[in-house]
Amino acid sequence: MHEQSRYVVGVDIGTTAIRCVVGSIDPTTDTPNIVGVGNSPAVGMRKGSVVNLQSLAQSLDDTLGEAERMSGYEIDNATISINGSHIASIKADGMVAVGSSDRLVSVDDVARVEDVAVTGKIPANREVLEVVPHSFCLDGQDNIKDPVGMNGTRLEIVANIVSALSPNLVNLKKAADSAGVSPNKIVPAVLAGSRAVLNDKQMENGVAVIDLGGSTTSLAVFEDGDLQYVGVVPVGGNNITNDLAIKLKVDPETAEVVKLKHSSSVNREKNQTVKIKKDEQNLEFDTDDIDEAVTARLEEIFESVENELKKAGKAEQLPSGVVLIGGGANMQSIADFVRDKLNLAAKVGKPSEMSGLSDKVGQPEFSVALGLMLIDNENMGQKSKKKSDKNNSSGSFMASMNDFIKNIFGKSKS
């Protein structure tokens, strides 16, 4: 890409679609101006895993080509997403002695204690994507968010470690390389989406982001400004579409239209009909049949989501509720259904307002790609800052809540 330091790119590689967002950096504000968008069907993916490298590489190339033509820039690297039920998170701790003779905690000390927290906690067939500190303890003083510059001898950490199966990660990188794009960083999709739609207050109070994808449903739980949990359910919007296709005896394309435009997951009048036109045919469907198929599958999906929230210890315990993203968030009345099912406030999340081609990325299905672009920008800024001052405390995790939102995605080990 021309003048690489001036442009940032996010590529969301989903099971059903690949989306790309290109941003041009405003030098006065260090914020991206959206200049290119790509959106193509994904071929070669199943439930978040690569099943055909060549097909996926071609799908990636199609998406990147669309974004390149729109932006006028050649994309050769980007921050990309990973998804699937193999994504998991665990809590871990570690301890190191402060290394410097003056006993001032450095960025290197923080990196060492993170490495200790990871060591022996992750199986050999998995790779760490993120190490997200909950808190540090320095000589018995706990609940420290940023220990850099503080005086002490014994540094401890409690962190959330997010990992992926190594083969899945390797195959994703291979597909990206085949498409001519080098991953700057690989981020779990739901964390990238969270970056695009959450604010400080929600993360402090307690909130879950639920990404309603094609073949998976992912969630990330935040509280006290920290990532608490990541989970993935191997069922998604495609399952609803297929159920409707069978129930209504139509092809999946028609079922998808019915799902998004005519389904309702909450009570409505019985014995109604909806009409759509397909290939010069006028089709008519009973809303009772539509709602029965949709609701049954949504019940299954969100029972699994509720179980994930229970694992996180946050079922019915999130004051800021849940924020829905992904293509499935476009379903009619989905927020009402989730509110009733999870007994939590629920709303459809949309990316924050951006300059440039914001109308192209304003829907929930673009949350992940936009979040990836923002992370690409933030990590580029962090790398530049580290070059000028290796021990600057901004390299540590969460000097402030605003830094948290940025730095949570800057601690990857991939």
Residue 383's pLDDT band, with cuts at 50, 70 and 90, is low
| 84 phi and psi angles, rounded to 5 deg | 125, 160
Phi-psi region of 326 (alpha: psi -120 to 50; beta: other; left: phi over 0): left
Q: What are the CA-CA distances from residue 251 to residues 98, 197, 218, 241 (Å)?
A: 63, 34, 27, 9
Instruction: Report whether pLDDT(397) > 60.
Output: no
Question: Which one is predicted more confidently, 189 or 408?
Answer: 189
Instruction: Find the angle CA(54)-CA(56)-CA(61) to the nearest 5 degrees.
Output: 95
Tell how strand 226-233 and strand 355-356 pair up: unpaired
Cβ-based neighbours of 38, under 8 Å, separated by 6 or more = 18, 19, 20, 62, 63, 64, 65, 66, 67, 68, 70
82 close to 18: Cβ distance less than 8 angstroms? no
- Number of alpha helices (DSSP H) and beta strands (DSSP E) in the chain: 11, 19
C-alpha 365: how far from chain center: 11
pLDDT tens-digit series, residues 238-281: 999 999 999 999 999 999 999 998 887 666 677 788 888 877 78
Residue 209 makes CB contacts below 8 A (sequence gap 6+) with 190, 193, 194, 197, 198, 219, 220, 222, 322, 323, 325, 349
pLDDT-based confidence at 396, cuts 50/70/90? very low
Residue 386 has pLDDT above 80, yes or no: no
- pLDDT of 391: 44
- Comparing 266 with 235, the larger pLDDT belongs to 235
Which pLDDT does position 267 carry in this prediction?
66
| Whole-number pLDDT of residue 395 | 36
What is the structure's pLDDT at 414? 53
pLDDT in the model for residue 382: 61
Helix (H, G, I), strand (E, B) or coil at 214: coil
**Which amino acid appears at position 244 of this protein?**
L
User: pLDDT per residue over 53-83, tens digit each?
Assistant: 999 999 999 999 999 999 999 999 999 999 9
What's the whole-number average pLDDT of the chain? 88
What are 329-365's pLDDT values in tens digits?
Answer: 999 899 999 999 999 999 999 887 677 777 788 899 9
**What span, in angstroms and rounded, lies between the C-alpha atoms of 326 and 371?**
12
Domains within the chain, CATH numbers bracketed = 4-85+166-189+352-407 (3.30.420.40), 88-164 (3.30.1490.110), 230-348 (3.30.420.40)
